[in-house]
């Protein structure tokens, strides 16, 4: 049986190589990011100079406990690097994120960053996205309407609950619809259908955002770098 927690730890530790003094970094959310935070705190204790923008309240709390200096996007609107986990990663480094409910802040922080590295265990690597339900963050007022629209484009959508009878509320005060599509053969096309639905705040498809995936597999870390797509051949 693969030890997924061990793989997450290895991937998190490998990302430290990419963090240099003077950088401003985006700090991701989730159990893999939570392995990185104490390691980074220790490096800072030994003299590494970095500032971080957290992608969730949970990450901010943990980072503070670990002695990581935190900033807001107002103070640091441009970041050097974001390191974050993911729920699925395909061969083109397209991602599904938001299993932990932080996709909106995660996408904003990633979009403000020059580079993004994802840290995952090997179970997250997939040939095609879509086995993991795609999280879609919605304005609470509109979720029933958005749910219907998402169902019209093929999703089986369900409102995420924090406990029975209580809707999950994100750090930005929104709800999340978890959408099963079976498979997502064309993520940019699906993103272009979901984005314009009135009431959708953001979705968990990260396309052309991630530059490098560090994948823990057994006792090794595999590196997958994003390849630019070759230009279309002219005929």
CB 42 within 8 A of CB 18: no
> Which C-beta is closer to ligand 5RP: that of 31 or that of 64?
31
Q: Does 200 bind ligand 5RP (CB under 6 A)?
A: no
Stretch (H or E) spanning 38 = helix 33-45
Q: Does 216 bind ligand 5RP (CB under 6 A)?
A: no
How far is the C-alpha of 145 from the C-alpha of 162, rounded, in Å? 21
Within 10 angstroms of residue 172's Cβ, the number of other Cβ atoms is 13
Q: Which of 7, 10, 11, 30 binds ligand 5RP (CB under 6 A)?
A: 30
- Our answer to whether residue 166 is catalytic in this structure is no
> Which C-beta is closer to ligand 5RP: that of 90 or that of 106?
106
Q: Identify any residues that bridge with 11 across adjacent strands, giving them in sequence order.
A: none
Q: Does 133 bind ligand 5RP (CB under 6 A)?
A: no
What track of x and - describes contact with ligand 5RP for positions 38 through 77 (by CB under 6 A)? ----------------------------------------
Closest approach of Cβ 213 to ligand 5RP, in Å? 12
- Retrieve residue 18's tokens: 């990419």
List, in order, residues 6 or more apart from 91 with CB less than 8 Å away: 127, 224
Stretch (H or E) spanning 61 = helix 57-65
Chain positions 173 to 192 lying near ligand 5RP, rule: CB under 6 A, are: none
Q: Does 87 bind ligand 5RP (CB under 6 A)?
A: yes
CA angle 8, 11, 15 (to 5 degrees): 140
Return the range that interacts with ligand 5RP (CB under 6 A); candidates 38-46, 94-102, 160-168, 216-224.
94-102
Sign of the C-alpha dihedral, residues 208, 209, 214, 217? negative
Chain positions 95 to 124 lying near ligand 5RP, rule: CB under 6 A, are: 97-103, 106
Closest approach of Cβ 228 to ligand 5RP, in Å? 25
Closest approach of Cβ 57 to ligand 5RP, in Å? 12
If you count them, how many residues does the chain have? 235
Closest approach of Cβ 160 to ligand 5RP, in Å? 11
Catalytic residue among 106, 166, 202, 222: 106
Torsion of CA 138, 139, 143, 145, to 10 degrees: -100
Residue 70's closest CA among 27, 107, 34? 27
Binding site for ligand 5RP (CB under 6 A): 28-32, 84-87, 97-103, 106
Catalytic positions, written as ranges: 106
């Amino acid at each position: 049986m693969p030890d997924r927690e061990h793989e997450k730890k290895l991937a998190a530790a490998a990302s430290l190589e990419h963090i240099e003094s003077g950088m401003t970094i985006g700090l991701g959310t989730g159990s893999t990011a939570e392995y990185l935070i104490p390691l980074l705190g220790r490096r800072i204790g030994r003299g590494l100079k970095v500032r971080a923008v957290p992608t969730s309240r949970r990450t901010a709390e943990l980072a503070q406990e670990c002695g990581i200096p935190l900033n807001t996007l107002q103070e640091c609107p441009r970041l050097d690097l974001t390191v974050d986990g993911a729920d699925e990663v395909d061969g083109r480094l397209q991602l599904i994120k938001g299993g932990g409910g932080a996709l909106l802040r995660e996408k904003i922080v990633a979009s403000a960053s020059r580079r993004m590295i994802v840290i995952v265990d090997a179970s997250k690597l997939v040939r095609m996205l879509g086995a993991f339900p795609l999280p879609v963050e919605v304005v609470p007022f509109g979720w029933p309407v958005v749910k219907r629209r998402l169902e019209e484009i093929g999703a089986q959508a369900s409102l995420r609950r924090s406990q029975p009878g209580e809707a999950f509320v994100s750090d930005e005060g929104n709800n999340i619809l978890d959408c099963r599509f079976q498979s997502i053969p064309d993520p940019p096309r699906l993103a272009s259908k979901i984005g314009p639905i009135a009431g959708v705040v953001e979705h968990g498809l990260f396309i052309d955002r991630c530059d490098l995936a560090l994948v823990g597999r057994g006792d090794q870390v595999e590196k997958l770098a994003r390849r630019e797509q070759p230009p279309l051949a002219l005929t």
